[in-house]
């Protein structure tokens, strides 16, 4: 069956283990080139874990998931697609520096209409998911095309989720900054009014 487990230590197990090590390794490598200090990491959990704990958890993950061919191919497919996405901009992130790229990217997002951003995000994720769905539909439950299709759909969902999470955080931070700035402006205007009022010479009494 499509979800039959592989025997631990078997040739099939080591095949899926090698596939997972390669896929997760590419994800780690692309992330390290793009953001060695994880400043630009979009996954809050991975960012919190850091390199040391993230690597440890991934070692446990690949040795465990390799027992299940369907899950192994899904994880490997999604990981390779994430790595490819990272490599696309990793050179720019690396050359500009993490903080400068982050500030530049945030500014570009703030200057773009949210509807346009969401439309482009939908185009990116839905078109990829559509190919994955087609693979699933025509796979006739054959392991490789079915699992690759599932991996593409999983990748699309992950990109959409973390992109929307980032947009929500940016908009929330922008609103907080706007409120803080408005409060500071109001306070400053109040101080100016008090100074002008107190500095006015008293009217002469006739």
The pLDDT score that the predictor gives to residue 190 is: 63
Distance CA 204, CA 206 (A): 6
Residues 6+ apart with CB under 8 A from 24: 58, 61, 62, 75, 76, 79
In a domain, 2, yes or no: no
The pLDDT score that the predictor gives to residue 36 is: 93
In a domain, 126, yes or no: yes
pLDDT class for 131, splitting at 50, 70, 90?
Answer: very high
Give the residue numbers spanning the domain of 172.
11-198
In a domain, 205, yes or no: no
Relative orientation angle of helices 143-199 and 114-138, to the nearest 10 degrees: 170
pLDDT greater than 50 at residue 205: no
In a domain, 3, yes or no: no
Buried b (16+ CB within 10 A) or exposed e, 8-20: eeeebbeebbebb
pTM of the model: 0.81
Distance CA 124, CA 78 (A): 15
For range 83-107, the mean pLDDT: 92
Sign of CA dihedral 29, 30, 34, 38: negative
Query: What percent helix, strand, coil does the chain show, rounded to 5?
Result: 80, 0, 20
In a domain, 121, yes or no: yes
Number of domains in the chain: 1
pLDDT greater than 60 at residue 103: yes
Q: Name the phi and psi angles at 68, rounded to 5.
A: -120, 100
Tell me the average pLDDT of the chain: 88
In a domain, 166, yes or no: yes
The pLDDT score that the predictor gives to residue 175 is: 80
pLDDT class for 192, splitting at 50, 70, 90?
Answer: low
In a domain, 206, yes or no: no
pLDDT class for 206, splitting at 50, 70, 90?
Answer: very low
Percentage of the chain lying above the pLDDT 90 cut: 65
pLDDT greater than 90 at residue 200: no
In a domain, 204, yes or no: no
pLDDT greater than 80 at residue 193: no
């Amino acid at each position: 069956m499509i979800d039959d487990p592989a025997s631990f230590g078997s040739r099939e197990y080591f095949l899926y283990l090698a596939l997972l090590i390669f896929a997760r390794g590419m994800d780690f490598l692309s992330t390290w080139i793009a953001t060695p200090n994880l400043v630009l990491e979009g996954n809050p959990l991975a960012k919190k874990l850091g390199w040391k704990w993230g690597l440890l958890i991934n070692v446990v993950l690949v040795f465990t998931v390799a027992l299940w061919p369907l899950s192994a191919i899904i994880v490997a497919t999604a990981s390779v697609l994430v790595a490819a996405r990272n490599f696309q901009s990793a050179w720019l992130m690396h050359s500009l520096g993490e903080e400068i790229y982050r500030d530049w990217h945030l500014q570009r997002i703030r200057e773009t209409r949210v509807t346009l951003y969401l439309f482009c995000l939908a185009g990116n994720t839905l078109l990829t998911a559509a190919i994955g769905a087609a693979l699933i539909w025509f796979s006739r439950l054959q392991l490789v095309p079915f699992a690759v299709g599932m991996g593409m759909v999983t990748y699309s969902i992950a990109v959409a989720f973390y992109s929307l999470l980032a947009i929500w955080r940016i908009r929330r931070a922008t609103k907080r900054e706007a409120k803080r700035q408005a409060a500071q402006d109001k306070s400053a205007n109040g101080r100016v009014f008090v100074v002008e009022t107190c500095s006015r010479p008293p009217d002469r009494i006739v």
